[in-house]
Amino acid sequence: MEPNLKLSQDEGEVLEDPLVYRRITGKLQYLIIIRPDLSYLVNKLSQFLTVPQLPHLKVAQRLLQYIKTCPGQGLLFPASFAVQMKAYTDSDWAACQDTRRSTSSFCMLLGSFLVS
């Protein structure tokens, strides 16, 4: 997604046939199972399912073009894959010298694949 692009429900022309947009977005939701890097954009596109507009469709089409140019990326689950979820977390209480705010982070692995 372009860094300065702001999607809104008030800008653009309403699509005559919203079914095309809804189908694309629905299929993208299944794709994020193996491509978690697309989760943010698919979530943004899903917010406009009730009244999709032309700018939303253009972003969805651009995402499809991106996916087409980079095949083979994503998570691969082999047939002998043992499903095991691991999570690691770290925190630093009141680490910021100015605000005394805490810093924390986490990572989640499904097998040996980083998913979050």
Tell me whether residue 7 is in a domain. no
Q: How far apart are CA 42 and CA 83, in angstroms?
A: 25
In a domain, 108, yes or no: yes
Residue 41 CA to residue 59 CA, distance in Å, equals 9
Contacts of 78 (CB under 8 A, 6+ apart): none
Q: Looking at the structure, do residues 27 and 59 belong to the same domain, yes or no?
A: yes
pLDDT over 90, % of the chain: 8
Domain assignment present for 77: no
- Residues 63, 102: one domain? no
Does 12 reside within a domain? no
Same domain, 62 and 92: no
Distance, C-alpha 59 to centroid of its chain: 13
pLDDT in tens, 60-84: 999 899 888 887 777 676 777 677 8
pLDDT in tens, 30-45: 888 778 888 888 888 8
Positive or negative torsion for Cα 63, 66, 71, 74: negative
3-state secondary structure of 104: strand
Range of the domain at 105: 85-114
Is 60 a domain residue? yes
Counted domains in the chain: 2
- Report if residue 41 sits inside a domain: yes
